[in-house]
Chains A and B, each alone.
Chain A
């Protein structure tokens, strides 16, 4: 497998109790690229990205074997604190999940829990993150309002801003547009293409067009196995595997 990958999974097997959710996954994701993970429901794609930021630890009865390398270091090693990894590998969830706090506090939270106390720095960082997430124009002047008053699309961009504030290196998107309308979806996709310049991006999506629009590489998961990984263009025009072809042409899934 390639050694230039920013974050790389090696021989990942994952079990929920006795059910095997992932089978021997090997997959590398590169900096300044968007890697899309596609596949039918229950194929293990959400589980997979939850392993990349060690969120799988919160699942009861979870069992994992294999290695995950972040910049060449195995983050599944026993000397690694998951809390430190989650700072470096951020995540945006399927449903917008802002804290029931003000817009400002939603973003400052990540900084504060990571030990930053400097008020001026926090304020600058909040504004900077909102600008990066293309939300600043819509919320400036009402940063003290509750985040729950924003629309669904705005909330999701706030969650992206919140994630950016802690300066991650990798950002995982777990079906970020699943609950959004087409216009909000368009904004998020534009944003992902912009963020690609600075981060390593992994996006799980059900939406094949979305994968085609935003990603450089696409990985196709089926029943816990990685069927195929390749350049998005090639994958959507000339898939190597019969199963991939069947899925992207809509014959199942």
Chain B
């Protein structure tokens, strides 16, 4: 009897934890959607801010976040994937590689503001990209490199050894095997890493604080060397600066809501690609 009671308590705890988690999640979504939806309108999505940030829309920030996220992923996905392939497929197993792996994992735990300062020192100053979309995008890219590398590594390690052997046995070279069998098989896992990265990048404030973001800009960024507005920084600015807290707070919630939708939208596209690949592989 004790055993059964024990089991019941165990399950109750597990169920309770699950419900609590889901409740938190829904509370966040509800809160933001409820408060944010009030200010959302066609104008909010398509116009720039007016009257000292207390009215108008946030279109430049939406576009800016989209650009910054794109630059970050375009930079970090090929680099991170190549690094993961090297570590998993080419590098000899040993002490140095273990150190490298450990460093990459630790990099994932570095506070994001550090990447902001790094971006300022390296991209803004050293490479002279200035405060620009490029500097910000690259700083964000470096921030998510460890996420992409870890996800890719896991996905590559999960590819069964037997199908690599099958490829070698047909006279394929190592590179052909990696390019045509291993990476396509690992792609769904790699894309999961990309989806996580998009969420992370789109929402980060600190790395773009000193490298890319502007509180207010007239019009849209013209090139990758322009400063940009971005949703997370816009929210931060609305809540900390200005003289009309009430109007500004409402707009900030609107921004949160749009940021959430934007991340969902981009992730959804990545999920679609992943699904297509999976059904192609496993039908």
Cβ A93 vs Cβ B166 within 8 A:
yes
A86 contacts the other chain (CB 8 A): yes
B150 contacts the other chain (CB 8 A): no
B240 contacts the other chain (CB 8 A): no
A-B contact count (CB 8 A): 81
Interface string of A60-87 (1 = CB under 8 A from B): 1000000000000000000000011011
Cβ A146 vs Cβ B281 within 8 A:
yes
Interface string of A106-118 (1 = CB under 8 A from B): 0001101110000
CA of A209 to CA of B165, assembled, Å: 28
CA of A162 to CA of B172, assembled, Å: 13
Q: Which residues of chain A from 135 to 167 have any CB-CB distance to chain B below 8 Å in the complex?
A: 145-146, 148-149, 159, 162-163, 166
Q: Assign chain A's interface to a size class.
A: 20 to 34
**Which of A113, A114, A146 is within 8 Å of B282, CB to CB?**
A146
- With A90-B169, A91-B169 known as contacts, the answer to whether A146 contacts B280 (CB < 8 A) is yes
Q: Which residues of chain B from 154 to 185 have any CB-CB distance to chain A below 8 Å in the complex?
A: 160, 162-163, 165-173, 176, 180-181, 184-185
B283 contacts the other chain (CB 8 A): yes
Having A95-B162, A101-B184, A114-B171, one finds 20 other A-B pairs with CB under 8 Å, namely A55-B168, A58-B168, A93-B166, A93-B169, A97-B163, A98-B163, A98-B166, A99-B163, A100-B184, A100-B281, A101-B280, A109-B181, A110-B172, A113-B171, A113-B172, A113-B173, A113-B180, A146-B281, A162-B166, A166-B171
Cβ A100 vs Cβ B282 within 8 A:
yes
27 A-B residue pairs with CB within 8 Å: A55-B165, A58-B165, A60-B93, A83-B173, A86-B171, A87-B170, A93-B165, A95-B162, A97-B160, A98-B163, A99-B166, A99-B167, A99-B185, A100-B163, A100-B185, A100-B281, A101-B184, A102-B283, A109-B167, A109-B180, A110-B172, A113-B172, A113-B173, A146-B282, A148-B283, A149-B283, A166-B170
**Which of B160, B168, B170, B281 is within 8 Å of A101, CB to CB?**
B281
* Residues in chain A near residue B282, CB distance under 8 A: 100, 146, 148
**Which of B163, B170, B181 is within 8 Å of A86, CB to CB?**
B170
A167 to chain B, nearest CB (A): 10
B15 to chain A, nearest CB (A): 35
A163 to chain B, nearest CB (A): 7
* Residues in chain B near residue A95, CB distance under 8 A: 162
| Nearest B residue (CB) for A90 | B169
Cβ B168 vs Cβ A113 within 8 A:
no
- The residues of A with any CB-CB pair to B shorter than 8 Å are 53, 55, 58, 60, 83-84, 86-87, 90-91, 93, 95, 97-102, 109-110, 112-114, 145-146, 148-149, 159, 162-163, 166
CA of A84 to CA of B173, assembled, Å: 10
Cβ A86 vs Cβ B168 within 8 A:
yes
**Which of A100, A102, A163 is within 8 Å of B170, CB to CB?**
A163
Size of the chain B interface, CB-CB below 8 angstroms: 22
- The residues of B with any CB-CB pair to A shorter than 8 Å are 93, 160, 162-163, 165-173, 176, 180-181, 184-185, 280-283
* Residues in chain B near residue A102, CB distance under 8 A: 280, 283
| Nearest B residue (CB) for A97 | B162
Cβ A113 vs Cβ B170 within 8 A:
yes
- With A149-B283, A166-B171 known as contacts, the answer to whether A113 contacts B165 (CB < 8 A) is no
* Residues in chain A near residue B160, CB distance under 8 A: 97
CA of A163 to CA of B165, assembled, Å: 12
- With A97-B165, A99-B163, A148-B283 known as contacts, the answer to whether A83 contacts B171 (CB < 8 A) is yes
Cβ A55 vs Cβ B281 within 8 A:
no
- With A60-B93, A99-B181 known as contacts, the answer to whether A86 contacts B283 (CB < 8 A) is no
B146 to chain A, nearest CB (A): 27
* Residues in chain A near residue B171, CB distance under 8 A: 83-84, 86-87, 110, 113-114, 166
* Residues in chain B near residue A145, CB distance under 8 A: 283
CA of A95 to CA of B163, assembled, Å: 10
CA of A113 to CA of B176, assembled, Å: 7
* Residues in chain A near residue B280, CB distance under 8 A: 101-102, 146
Q: Which 5 A-B pairs have the closest CB atoms?
A: A146-B283, A87-B171, A100-B281, A110-B170, A97-B162
B211 to chain A, nearest CB (A): 41
CA of A25 to CA of B280, assembled, Å: 45
* Residues in chain A near residue B162, CB distance under 8 A: 93, 95, 97
CA of A62 to CA of B167, assembled, Å: 20
- With A97-B160, A146-B283 known as contacts, the answer to whether A109 contacts B170 (CB < 8 A) is yes
* Residues in chain A near residue B168, CB distance under 8 A: 55, 58, 86
CA of A102 to CA of B281, assembled, Å: 7
Cβ B172 vs Cβ A163 within 8 A:
no
CA of A97 to CA of B281, assembled, Å: 13
Cβ A90 vs Cβ B165 within 8 A:
no
B216 to chain A, nearest CB (A): 51
CA of A102 to CA of B282, assembled, Å: 9
| Nearest A residue (CB) for B175 | A113
CA of A89 to CA of B181, assembled, Å: 21
